[in-house]
Amino acid sequence: MDKRYSFTDFREIIRRLRAPDGCPWDREQTHESLIPCMLEEAQEAVEGIRLLEETKDADNLCEELGDVLLQVMMHSQIAEEEGLFTIDDVIQGISEKMIRRHPHVFGRGTANSSAEVLQTWEEIKKREKEEKARKNAEKKL
């Protein structure tokens, strides 16, 4: 194939697969039914990483990462159909998280070693978890 597909193209491919006139198998999938696929593809990506280290086979890792991306896109499409969130929300959330957890890059923090980065990451993660728990408790009141 000569065409270079973009992220937008891939998003449309997933939408088409799940459309009423799309693929019966893809249309039937749910978050729950895709769990085995997600686990399998994640494991195959790990194997692809190890193979890259051993043999420098980048093609295999590229393919396996595509399969993981397919899982993320399928779950995001299902969630969008259910009115829960979109892939744009996933991207927004992970972008905000990376910026928050890297103040030494995007803010006023400093980090002179990987150990400092990990310590800061865990501290921020702990604060975020506590804040989330507090907000969830307030919702229940």
Q: What pLDDT band is residue 140 in, cutting at 50, 70 and 90? A: confident
The pLDDT mean for the chain works out to 96
pLDDT in tens, 21-34: 999 999 999 999 99
Domain coordinates in residue numbering, the chain: 1-86, 101-141
pLDDT in tens, 107-131: 999 999 999 999 999 999 999 999 9
pLDDT in tens, 38-66: 999 999 999 999 999 999 999 999 999 99
Instruction: Tell me if 80 sits within 8 A of 97, measured CB to CB.
Output: no
| Strand, coil or helix: 73 | helix
Residue 80's contacts (CB-CB under 8 Å, 6 or more residues apart) are: 86, 87
Fold of 1-86: Helix Hairpins (1.10.287)
90 is written with which tokens? 């996933």
- Give the pTM: 0.89
pLDDT at 139: 85
